[in-house]
Amino acid sequence: MVIGSNVPRIDAHDKATGRTKYTDDLCDQRALIAKIVHSTIAHGYVKSVDISEAEKIPGVIKILTCFDAPDYKFPTAGHPWSVDPSHQDVCDRNLLTSHVRYYGDDVAAVVAEDEVSAVQAVRAIKVEYEELPFVLDAQEAMKEGAPVIHDEHPDNVLKHTDIRRGNYEEAIKEPGLIKVEGWYDTPSVQHCHIENAICFAYQDNEKIVVVTSTQIPHIVRRVCGQALGIPWGNIRVIKPYIGGGFGDKQDVLYEPLCAWLSTQVGGRLVKLECTREETFCNCRVRHAIRSHIISWCRPDGTMVARKLECWSNQGAYASHGHAIAAKGMGAFPQLYPCPNVECDAWTVYTNRQVAGAMRSYGMAQAGFAVEAHSDDICKKLSLDPLEFRRKNLMQKGYVDAFSKNELYDDTFNQCLDKGAAWIDYERKYKEYQNQTGPVRKGIGFAVYWYNTAVWPIALETAGCRMVVNQDGSIQMQVGDTEIGQGADTAFAQMAAETLGLPLHMVHVISCQDTDVTPFGTGAYASRQTYVAGMAIRTCAEALKDRILKTAFRYTRMQPYLMDIKDGNIVRTTDGRVLMSMADLATHSLYDLENSEHLAMERTTQIKSNAYSFGCCFAEVEVDIPMCHVKLLNIINVHDCGRLINPALAKAQVEGGMSMGIGYALSEKMIYDKKTGRLLNGNLLDYKLSTFMDHPHLEAQFVENAEPTSAYGTKALGEPPVVPVAPAIRAAILNATGVALCELPMDPHLLFRRFSEEHLI
């Protein structure tokens, strides 16, 4: 069995030895360098751009301003395009803009022979603005008289959707109900992928070639075409190995601008690489979402009616827009089913930088709000948090009417049992109550809900091509991308399993080239093993069928009497090896009478989806006078279906936990209230958690194979981040009795809250 075994990553050796080529490694050193002039106001109009001094700087080739750029509005979200105009992503961006909508917006670009000249020119360009008032908060932006950020949305609301179940207003009239109400705030945070956003572009005959660090090459092609107003087929996008994306690169970033700049310098090679500061300020962030939850409960914890309102801070441009808040809101009535529910979500333009996709896609925000609220209910009603979850969580057999997703197993109890046992939860939970003294311990947990993939909200389609080499090994290409998560290795294991080949006979072509690679929308939604898995299985089964038909020619055995096992054609009736795959491939290709090139390509549309669930348990030590939380122990337990490669799955969970720890305890983007400028857009002032801030990260699994999945898998990439912050919040509550309702729970917040509660 190749599936389920801890084979080393197929790219491990090259990555460990530094041989792997990333975008910058592939760029010719003679490339021209592009640098962007970013606005120094948060909102207003560019009146003029004086480039006279900048043009004199030696090495400067071309300076282009917002007044030079073509006026094609384009979307940037890494979503499959919709042929229904009402479901298309919002087109609200230009390559360069004269209407500045956030501090750092792109108003001009310099192309120069080297970086120093380009940066000198950027500094020498003088931009004159007409300043307008700006707004940074989503709810403020919805108020009457707030600055209008896009004329098409005079109330700044990009989108509002709601969910209604039962009758909330009637239900809350039931006598004896206890009302629990809370406000929960999450900050903007950044992905902090190791490799900054980078691309280079050049013209090759009629085509513009863009090499870029992206999760979504086929989508980048479409958007570049839209942005430049040229046929999509005239764009060729190549995606090499990338140094992480976490959703930031599930957006089209500077590829269209770089492609256009190349066309403005005669098609010469132009490289556009974001600095770390630009990655912070000018790429994407996680939406800051404020949630307001009211639950009406009976004294035994039964929830009779619930209300959720949430305001999602979109920033200056639509990007992934309302999809994030909508996903979070969608979880609310499912995770804790309740007969009477009212939910409203608003996604609101503000003059902050643009929010887009980020690992967990709205669920980290909703997960914090919903699970913090669960603990607030338990506190108010004096209920045991574990019993409350066991009683109120979605039960086995639950089916969602819209997605048709089903909970097939007793997953929540299985995960909770495993996590509680490892960390010794029940004993410690009792022991840590009612502590005194400056340093106290606490323990807590939280659960999560996650939808794999995007069906039925959006299209799911995947392509796979397999070509048999002369030695019987295969080349495989899929449109779904390796972004560091180990997809290529999992894909190779799947193909080897279905084809009956040893792993070393499956060669995955990691690089996607939109002129060559079968169509796929890329890596997002934790859908790679689910969606690409179906394309791989469909293609592999068709190829195997063809191989066995070809084998008839040399073995004279009927195809239905044969199979491929461990790289050999075997007769199933007695297990005899008839010939090796190598011999078959060589003979079929070089056959003087019937030369046949064994290859297969299949596209698959996926019309199902799967729930993924799990939990996190955390134990902390809170030093009250020092306003400091030390994480002592932490475990995530996931049911992501069948594990293709348990070691890789564990690594994925560890990375997500690390991201969750930063989200919980230290990370936030800080904006200057006077100017709208991002104050801490660098890796010193932005407190990404480090190796030294983590205890051992324990990852465990409950393996309930997903019935709808080609290989039994479902989402794992994003979910690990979701339950960490609410679990740590619960542990701090257990330790100190203080309920924290915003993230991060950093020393600044602890100082404020401990002061309010008179603990210090």
Backbone conformation region of residue 321, classed left if phi is above 0, alpha if psi is from -120 to 50, else beta: left
* 8 A C-beta contact, residue 517 and residue 39: no
Q: Map tokens 């007044």 to a residue.
A: 67
Angle, vertex CA 484, rays to CA 483 and CA 486, nearest 5: 105
Euclidean distance between CA atoms 617 and 495, whole angstroms: 36
Which residues of this protein are in contact with another protein, per CB under 8 A? 114-116, 119-120, 123, 438, 625-627, 666, 670, 672, 679-680, 683-685, 687-693, 746-748, 751, 760
Beta-strand ranges (E) seen in 453-517 are: 461-468, 474-478, 506-508, 512-513
Nearest in space to 666 (alpha carbons), one of 609, 719, 628? 628
Phi, psi of 439 (to 5 degrees): -120, 120
* 8 A C-beta contact, residue 392 and residue 431: no
Euclidean distance between CA atoms 483 and 243, whole angstroms: 7
Euclidean distance between CA atoms 622 and 736, whole angstroms: 8
Give residue 263's Cα distance to chain centre: 32
Euclidean distance between CA atoms 335 and 320, whole angstroms: 24
Least Å from the CB of residue 670 to another protein: 5
For the record, the structure tokens of 188 come out as: 């903007």
Give residue 648's Cα distance to chain centre: 18
Nearest in space to 450 (alpha carbons), one of 655, 643, 640? 640
Euclidean distance between CA atoms 319 and 305, whole angstroms: 34
Q: Where are the alpha helices (DSSP H) in 229-271?
A: 255-264
Q: Edge-to-edge strand order for the sheet containing 126-131?
A: 99-100, 44-50, 126-131
Nearest in space to 639 (alpha carbons), one of 711, 700, 728, 696? 700
For the record, the structure tokens of 711 come out as: 């290989």
CB closer to another protein, 35 vs 93 = 35
Euclidean distance between CA atoms 96 and 104, whole angstroms: 12
For the record, the structure tokens of 59 come out as: 């090495």
Looking at this protein, which amino acid is placed at residue 498? T
Burial of 229 (0-12, 13-18, 19+ CB in 10 A): exposed
Euclidean distance between CA atoms 205 and 368, whole angstroms: 52
* 8 A C-beta contact, residue 198 and residue 255: no
Question: What angle in degrees, to the nearest 10, is found between the helix axes of 363-381 and 724-736?
Answer: 30
Other beta carbons less than 10 A from residue 513's beta carbon: 16
